[in-house]
Amino acid sequence: MPDPVNPNLDPMSHTGPGGAMDMAMTEGTSLEGTSPEATDPREKPRSLWNDAWRDLRRNPIFIISSLLILFLVFISIWPGSIATGNPLSCDLIHSQDGPTKGHWFGFDNQGCDVYTRTVYGARASVTVGVCATAGVAVLGSVLGGLAGFFGGWWDGVLSRITDIFFGIPILLGGLVFLSVVKGGSVWPVVGFIVLLGWPQIARISRGAVLTVKQNDYVQAARALGASNTRMLVRHVMPNAIAPVIVVSMIALGTFIALEATLSYLGVGLKPPTVSWGIDISAASTLIRNAPHMLLYPAAALSITVLAFIMLGDAVRDALDPKLR
């Protein structure tokens, strides 16, 4: 019906004041011409990993630990960039001498420069930690993920095997295993840690997979006919890997401390390999006469372990949705 005041205005049109508002509401836009839900098409979609990275960049603990770890990796690869001496070049005339100009950390019992040996000792410790953690994470994730995904007798067998390995004290196992293995280089230590260190990661992975596979998107993929391999690789493991990463980062520092402990006890790394554990063992009996021999390699070991534990804590806080 035409408007009696303005007969030319059709109430069904969108040219009047009310019609303009109706048009804006119909088209999903406000009167200002912008959609309430409009987003920048260039903005990346939000995800757990994007949110975690955004939180990590603002976390001072993550920044400090990352810088320390980058420095440790740098001196592990290029130790000669900050230590020009030879860690195996010793002169007994300087035995147990304290810090002097050009030798800021003093000399050990054999007359070797403590600073040079401390720098070069990072290579063995970091290599053992990184390689052992990579092996433990892969082996534990695969076994735990398969047990949690397939369940049944497969889960029962793998869980019992995990319990058996969990019952072996890792330090005692290292004393027995490495005492009968000849060598004293990095790789026997790495192999031992992988052999006895995977059960914890397996349990974490199994629990995460059991939780993830109950989600609706996994059930939808199964209903659409997706194979077990596709569901496990594309849907389950990417969403269950976060706790494995956190535990692995914390375990990396633990493995470095374990290597130093085994080397201290004489069954880990052995000379001529340069290791913080070897130097700490040699200095332990001379702590009263030459405390500098023990102080610097022990401090380097402590800082390294602390850096990886701090990094793991920061990543855990960023990946835990309950803390958001």
What confidence score (pLDDT) does residue 36 get? 45
Written as six digits, the tokens of 154 are 């497969």
b/e burial code for range 250-283 (CB count within 10 A of at least 16 → b): bbbbbbbbbbbbbbbeebbbeeebbbbbbbbbbb
Q: For residues 93 and 85, is the Cβ–Cβ distance under 8 A?
A: no
**Cα(159)–Cα(199) distance, rounded to whole angstroms?**
9
- Enumerate the H helices of 88-241 as residue ranges: 114-150, 152-166, 170-180, 186-212, 216-223, 228-230, 237-240
Give the pair of three-digit tokens for residue 193: 């840690």
SS3 100: strand
**CATH level 3 topology of 48-323:** MetI-like fold (1.10.3720)
Q: What distance separates the 2 farthest-apart alpha carbons in the chain?
A: 115
Predicted pLDDT of residue 53: 83
Q: What pLDDT is stored for residue 232 in this prediction?
A: 84
Q: Of 70, 134, 305, which is closest to residue 313 (Cα–Cα)?
A: 305
Helices 242-264 and 276-283: crossing angle in degrees, nearest 10, is: 40
Q: What is the per-residue pLDDT for 323?
A: 56
Residue 132: per-residue pLDDT: 95
pLDDT tens, the chain, 324 aa long: 444 444 444 444 444 444 444 444 444 444 344 444 444 555 556 666 777 788 888 889 999 999 999 999 999 999 989 988 889 888 888 888 888 888 889 899 889 999 999 999 999 999 999 999 999 999 999 999 999 888 888 888 988 999 899 888 888 888 888 888 876 789 999 999 999 999 999 999 999 999 888 888 888 888 888 888 888 888 888 888 888 998 998 899 999 999 999 999 988 898 888 999 999 999 988 888 888 899 999 999 999 999 999 998 888 888 876 655
Q: Give the pair of three-digit tokens for residue 271.
A: 């000379």
Report pLDDT for 48: 66
The one-letter code for the residue type at 142 is V
For residue 296 the two structure tokens come to 């610097």
Which pLDDT value is given to residue 129? 92
Tell me which amino acid residue 99 is.
P
Query: For the chain, how big is the Rg over CA atoms in Å?
Result: 30
Residue type for position 113: D
Please state the domain extents for the chain. Answer: 1-34, 48-323
- Burial class of 152 by CB neighbour count within 10 A (0 to 12, 13 to 18, 19+): exposed
- Three-point CA angle 126, 127, 128, nearest 5°: 90
Question: What tokens does 133 get?
Answer: 């953690």
Contact indicator for 205, 146 with CB cutoff of 8 Å: no
- Specify which residues 291 forms β-bridges with: none
According to the model, what pLDDT value does residue 321 have? 60
Query: Does residue 119 contact residue 82 with C-beta atoms inside 8 Å?
Result: yes
> pLDDT at position 201, please?
93
DSSP 288: T
Token couple for 79 = 């130790």
Contact of 236 with 213, CB cutoff 8 Å? yes
